[in-house]
């Protein structure tokens, strides 16, 4: 009986972490969305007691949340990563405003839209994603949490191949795949009960090992030198960029998590960097939500999300499915 209770407690925590990761995306997105494109200077005086109001009502979320939760829905419906199903659901979002707060897609990125048009024109989904230097935005990293969580207990090679496949639907440049892979390794490390510092070391060790012996990725390694050499964690706030470039988003996420001790502080710091505020905060929210758990997300933020009940229902449903696997 005692062993059973202990086991249940651990399982509950896993559920709380997975639900926390998905809700973390939505909260980060809604917190940052009204400030997208603002500079750090402009955001100096902003207080984050409640979800802020911009052009839309407070609690409005954008493409980051739509595409993350649509991905979770697709994984649940198909029981596996099915790029065709994912592409169809994403296209429905773009064309008909499926899974949006106000009936139309908000804040979509150029690379994602172009890829979905290519898919609609008949290109297979694995070939739809852009491969050029200009396709290195954070539009796939921002929706990757459910894929990582789905494969988090799989062997490392399976996890990384799945993340690369999911990214390629809209973003197929090796630099973007690498960034998504390093993000996946961070969550995998944290799922193994590592501290954040231990998980950063794990990412550096496993990321270096996996990607440096693989040619399309080896050429991209230098873009992440700040991480490999550990200098990232010594940078000052003014030296951190948080634009829509995937390398900026990934490195800012690591830096923010290293600088903060709870969900609230991590998300506030993410938004305060300015630039691509909603996506930086969404990506940070996915890791902080996983690490600290759903219960550590401030209720004043969590309960103000538009269609929040549906988001919570789906996050718990996804977490329960993961727990049972």
Q: Token match 């090992």: residue?
A: 209
CA distance 312 to 38: 29
The H or E element containing residue 20 is helix 2-32
CB 36 → Mg ion: shortest distance, Å?
A: 7
Among 16, 64, 220, 275, binds Mg ion (CB under 5 A): 64
Q: Is 63 in the site for Mg ion (CB under 5 A)?
A: yes
* Interface of this chain with Mg ion, residues 259 to 278, rule: CB under 5 A: 278
* Interface of this chain with Mg ion, residues 73 to 132, rule: CB under 5 A: 107
Any idea what DSSP says for residue 99?
T
CB 190 → Mg ion: shortest distance, Å?
A: 24
Give the binding-site size for Mg ion (rule: CB under 5 A).
5
Instruction: Output 125 or 244, the one with its CB closest to Mg ion.
Output: 244
| CA-CA-CA-CA torsion sign (245, 249, 251, 256) | positive
* Interface of this chain with Mg ion, residues 275 to 304, rule: CB under 5 A: 278
Q: Is 16 in the site for Mg ion (CB under 5 A)?
A: no
Q: Is 56 in the site for Mg ion (CB under 5 A)?
A: no
- x/- letters, 161..190, toward Mg ion (CB under 5 A): ------------------------------
77-81 contact pairs (CB < 8 A, 24+): 81/147, 81/150, 81/151, 81/162, 81/165, 81/166
Is-contact 30 102, C-beta < 8 A? Answer: no
By the criterion CB under 5 A, which residues form the site for Mg ion? 62-64, 107, 278
């Amino acid at each position: 009986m005692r062993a059973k209770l202990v086991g249940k407690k651990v399982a509950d925590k896993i559920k709380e972490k997975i639900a926390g990761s998905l809700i973390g995306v939505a909260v980060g997105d809604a917190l940052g969305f009204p400030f997208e494109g603002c500079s750090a200077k402009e955001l100096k005086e902003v207080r984050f007691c409640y979800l802020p109001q911009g052009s839309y009502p407070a609690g409005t979320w954008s493409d980051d949340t739509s595409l993350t939760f649509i991905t979770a829905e697709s994984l649940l419906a198909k029981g596996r990563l099915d790029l065709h199903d994912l592409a169809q659901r994403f296209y429905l979002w773009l064309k008909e405003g499926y899974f949006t707060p106000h009936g139309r897609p908000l804040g979509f990125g150029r690379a994602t839209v172009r890829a979905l048009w290519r898919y609609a024109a008949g290109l297979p989904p694995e070939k739809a994603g852009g491969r050029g230097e200009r396709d290195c935005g954070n539009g796939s990293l921002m929706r990757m949490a459910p894929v990582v969580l789905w494969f988090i207990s799989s062997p490392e090679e399976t996890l990384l191949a799945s993340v690369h496949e999911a990214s390629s639907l809209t973003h197929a440049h090796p630099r973007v795949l690498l960034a998504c892979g390093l993000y996946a390794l961070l969550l995998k490390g944290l799922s193994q009960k590592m501290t954040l510092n231990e998980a950063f070391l794990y990412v550096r060790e496993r990321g270096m090992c996996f990607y440096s012996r693989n040619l399309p990725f080896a050429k991209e390694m230098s873009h992440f030198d700040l991480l490999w050499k550990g200098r990232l964690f010594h940078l000052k706030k003014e030296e951190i960029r948080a634009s829509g470039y995937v390398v900026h988003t990934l490195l800012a996420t690591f830096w923010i998590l290293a600088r903060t001790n709870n969900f609230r502080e991590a998300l506030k710091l993410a938004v305060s960097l300015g630039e691509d505020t909603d996506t930086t905060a969404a990506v940070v929210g996915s890791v902080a939500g996983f690490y600290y758990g759903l219960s550590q997300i401030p209720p004043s933020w969590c309960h103000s999300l538009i269609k929040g009940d549906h988001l919570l229902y789906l996050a718990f449903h996804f977490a329960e499915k993961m727990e049972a696997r």
